[in-house]
Amino acid sequence: MRDVLAVLAGGLVGTGLRLGLDSVLPHEGFAVSTLVANTVGALALGMLVARLWDRVPSWLRAGLGAGLLGSFTTFSALAVALVSLGAAGDWMPALAYLVATMALGLGAAWLGLRIGRPRATAPLDLVDE
């Protein structure tokens, strides 16, 4: 029950942050606010996973991950942005938006893991050499 309440509380905060971002960065044509939210969310989750995940209780992981960042970043908003961009029949802007979202999201997650890792430990190996 504690996990559920943490997700609800985190979701309330994340949704409020997303609404604020959407009001500052409007959705005309290219959905900049969705791109920013998903990139920032990937960075934040990477930092949290690297720094806290193994040291905090499950309810806090649920509240921060699924609740706060899950409601701040949204796949459904990405899907709507892609369909809206391609609605005119030219899918190249939608493809560019998808590539930008994936590249920025993966890059931000990688950077978050690098920034968030404790300094006293060995470097984080993301690729087997």
Question: Which residues participate in the annotated binding site for Na(+)?
Answer: 70, 73
CA distance 126 to 108: 14
- Please state the residue numbers annotated as binding site: 70, 73
Residue 19's Cβ-side half-sphere holds a number of Cα atoms within 13 Å equal to: 6
CA atoms within 13 A on the CB side of 82: 14
Angle at the Cα of 50 (from 46 to 51), degrees rounded to 5?
115
Cα dist from 96 to 41, 57, 58, 101, whole Å: 20, 39, 37, 8
